[in-house]
């Protein structure tokens, strides 16, 4: 008696879609399906991270791709199980899908870009990149968007299509040394040999500046108001470069003051023709 009542309850029709009756038991199977997918995802996570020989960022990308594929297969299996013909469903919704595709063109572009990023592995979790002229550390790569942390600790959400289609500089977060350029102008008449010597000595006082490749100084140009120099230093981790550059600039000002080397400001010389001035004033009167 109890079993009959339970069967009737579970077989109760709630609504119908595409001539398929959705019953209470279908929602029970849905909960079971979600639990199975979650368990399989956890097992998959352990297997991938245990046996993968790639770096952590690439391993996460592989896991996400397999996880997305698992969900697609699982959803297709569930729809077939409750009576939906997935092929017929897609074919009968073709016009609707075209309309949605046009409206969500940018979203699909981001999705495809996300798949490219995960497959290609050109940018990985933990990489330090320059997007829109700012340093950012990649925290997560999703299917549609990626999450990055900026230098001021704010979280930035970046559409994947922006990373794929626009110019992005990837510093690999310490895999390769990064060069930073500190520009310095000195006044005309300054001893360029002393300027170079001081800049190199200052660079060597910073412990985060690498000895190999060693720092070097470039005399870039003889400008309109100054000699233009550039101190080039190499640092292992990109995000360490900001504080290091700041420290070096403080020391440059201090050492230049000690050695009487001036940092000029733009200036113009104006020559006045006295005869033209007299004529102008006389005409004005």
Q: How far apart are CA 44 and CA 71, in angstroms?
A: 12
At residue 208, what are phi and psi to the nearest 5 degrees? -80, -10
**Nearest residue to 163 via CA among 124, 198, 216, 211:** 124
pLDDT of 276 reads 67
CATH for 177-258, among 2.60.40.10, 1.20.120.140, 3.30.1490.20, 3.30.70.100?
3.30.70.100
Note down pLDDT in tens along the chain; length 285 residues.
455 655 665 665 665 665 666 667 767 777 888 888 888 888 877 877 776 666 665 677 677 777 777 777 777 777 777 666 666 555 555 555 555 556 567 777 887 888 788 777 788 888 888 888 888 888 888 878 889 998 888 899 999 888 888 888 888 766 788 899 999 999 998 999 999 999 999 999 999 999 999 999 999 999 888 999 999 999 998 888 889 999 999 999 999 999 999 988 776 677 776 666 676 667 655
Return residue ranges of the chain for CATH 2.30.30.60: 123-173
Q: What is the pLDDT of residue 1?
A: 47
- Asked if CATH classification 3.40.50.970 holds for the domain at 123-173, the reply, yes or no, is no
Q: What is the pLDDT of residue 190?
A: 92
Tokens standing for residue 22: 């959705």
The pTM of the full predicted model, rounded to 2 decimals, is 0.60
Position 233 scores a pLDDT of: 96
231 C-beta neighbours (distance < 10 Å), count: 25
Within the chain, all domains assigned CATH 3.30.70.100 are found at 177-258
What pLDDT score was predicted for residue 211? 92
- Number of alpha carbons in the 13 Å side-chain half-sphere of residue 172: 10
Per-residue confidence (pLDDT) for residue 234, from 0 to 100: 95
């Amino acid at each position: 008696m109890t079993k009959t009542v339970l069967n009737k309850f579970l077989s109760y029709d709630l609504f119908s879609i595409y001539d398929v009756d959705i019953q209470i038991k279908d929602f029970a199977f849905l909960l079971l399906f979600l639990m199975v997918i979650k368990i399989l995802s956890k097992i998959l996570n352990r297997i991938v991270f245990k046996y993968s020989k790639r770096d952590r960022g690439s391993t996460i990308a592989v896991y996400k791709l397999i996880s997305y594929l698992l969900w697609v297969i699982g959803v297709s299996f569930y729809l077939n199980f409750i009576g939906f013909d997935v092929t017929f469903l897609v074919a009968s919704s073709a016009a609707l899908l075209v309309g949605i595709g046009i409206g969500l063109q940018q979203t699909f572009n981001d999705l495809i870009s996300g798949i490219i990023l995960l497959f290609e592995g050109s940018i990985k979790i933990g990489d330090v990149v320059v997007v829109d002229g700012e340093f950012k550390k990649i925290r997560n790569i999703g299917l549609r968007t990626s999450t990055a942390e900026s230098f001021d600790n704010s979280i930035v959400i970046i559409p994947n299509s922006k990373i794929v289609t626009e110019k992005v500089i990837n510093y690999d977060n310490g895999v390769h040394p990064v060069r930073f350029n500190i520009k310095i102008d000195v006044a005309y008449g300054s001893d360029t040999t002393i300027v170079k010597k001081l800049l190199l000595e200052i660079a060597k006082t910073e412990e985060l500046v690498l000895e190999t490749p060693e720092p070097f100084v470039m005399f870039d140009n003889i400008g309109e108001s100054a000699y233009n120099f550039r101190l080039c230093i190499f640092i292992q981790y990109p995000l360490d470069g900001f504080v290091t550059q700041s420290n070096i600039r403080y020391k440059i000002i201090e050492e230049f003051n000690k050695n009487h080397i001036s940092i000029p400001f733009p200036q113009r010389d104006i020559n006045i023709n006295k005869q033209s001035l007299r004529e102008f004033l006389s005409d004005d009167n």
